[in-house]
């Protein structure tokens, strides 16, 4: 008969706290927030990452456990979960600016008149959102741009604790400038489609006045989609270059915040 026991409660609780912070972060990332990813896969991935990072933060986490007492570790659990939710939401917000740009383009081109549904995201979603989101994810994973996020989370264990909240005391200032930047960046990425649609609507208005017997609504629907796809194809290389640079810059701002 095999018996399993815990010999070092502070170390075990410290690992649990690392796991809770990582779980709150990873479960919000675009790769893991889809319902198509099984919960077991998410949990095992979080446990593996927590196990890999635990030796580097073991000392500071055990110190926190001893400071509040082993019997009061639920306070630390709640604190690390909240911190993880904040950090994960910041990272997710960086990715959301690309999805927002895709949403603007989808609406401008005319795809919004057709209902799209992604069963893995449990939400209505257009083609540009998925194209942009997964292309950016592939760029991030293939170029190693995800490493600063892991480094930022690692440093957060030292800079953000119950004894010292670090930069979290100024989180309202950071959020204010951060979300303004996300909005302007999403609008900037969608600018070519916006101006193309504006010019196209002006041309269609002139055509409607010149040839009133033409069904301009049906014609404009087809023309909007055709020209919109052509413009996006023409600017796609520059679009993803600028988008990737924006991601790196925003991640740098986030990294400076958590340390």
Do the domain assignments include residue 240?
Answer: yes
The pLDDT assigned to 19 comes to 92
Percentage of the chain lying above the pLDDT 70 cut: 78
Do the domain assignments include residue 1?
Answer: no
* Domain assignment of residue 193, given as a range: 9-258
Do the domain assignments include residue 3?
Answer: no
Residue with tokens 């600063």: 148
Counting the structural domains of the chain, the total is 1
Contact 21, 80 (CB under 8 A): yes
For the record, the structure tokens of 226 come out as 């055709």
Do the domain assignments include residue 90?
Answer: yes
CA dihedral 248, 254, 258, 259 (to 10 degrees): 50
Do the domain assignments include residue 174?
Answer: yes
Do the domain assignments include residue 137?
Answer: yes
Mean pLDDT rounded to a whole number for the chain:
76
Do the domain assignments include residue 4?
Answer: no
pLDDT confidence band for 1 (50 / 70 / 90): very low
Distance from the first to the final alpha carbon of the chain: 48
Do the domain assignments include residue 64?
Answer: yes
| Segment 136-184, tens digit of pLDDT | 777 777 777 777 778 888 888 887 777 666 556 666 666 777 777 777 7
Mean pLDDT of the region 8-20: 86
pLDDT confidence band for 246 (50 / 70 / 90): confident
pLDDT confidence band for 20 (50 / 70 / 90): very high
Least confident of 5-19, 78-92, 118-132: 118-132
């Amino acid at each position: 008969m095999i018996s399993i026991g815990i010999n070092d409660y502070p170390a075990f609780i410290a690992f649990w706290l690392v796991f809770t912070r990582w779980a709150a972060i990873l479960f919000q990332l675009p790769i893991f927030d889809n319902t198509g990813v099984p919960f077991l896969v998410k949990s095992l991935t979080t446990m593996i990452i927590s196990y890999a990072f635990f030796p580097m933060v073991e000392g500071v986490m055990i110190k926190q456990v001893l400071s509040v007492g082993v019997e009061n570790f639920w306070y630390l659990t709640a604190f690390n979960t909240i911190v993880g939710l904040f950090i994960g939401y910041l990272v997710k917000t960086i990715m959301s600016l690309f999805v927002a740009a895709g949403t603007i383009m989808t609406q401008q081109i005319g795809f919004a008149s057709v209902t799209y549904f992604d069963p893995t995201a449990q939400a209505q979603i257009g083609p540009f959102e998925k194209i942009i989101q997964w292309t950016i994810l592939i760029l991030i994973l293939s170029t190693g741009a995800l490493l600063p996020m892991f480094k930022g989370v690692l440093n957060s264990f030292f800079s953000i604790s119950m004894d010292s909240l670090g930069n979290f005391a100024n989180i309202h200032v950071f959020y204010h400038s951060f979300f303004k930047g996300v909005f302007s960046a999403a609008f900037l990425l969608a600018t070519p489609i916006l101006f193309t649609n504006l010019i196209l609507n002006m041309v269609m208005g002139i055509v409607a006045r010149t040839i009133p017997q033409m069904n301009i609504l049906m014609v404009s629907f087809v023309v909007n989609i055709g020209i919109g796809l052509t413009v996006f194809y023409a600017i796609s290389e520059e679009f993803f270059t600028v988008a990737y640079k924006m991601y790196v810059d925003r991640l740098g701002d986030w990294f400076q915040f958590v340390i």
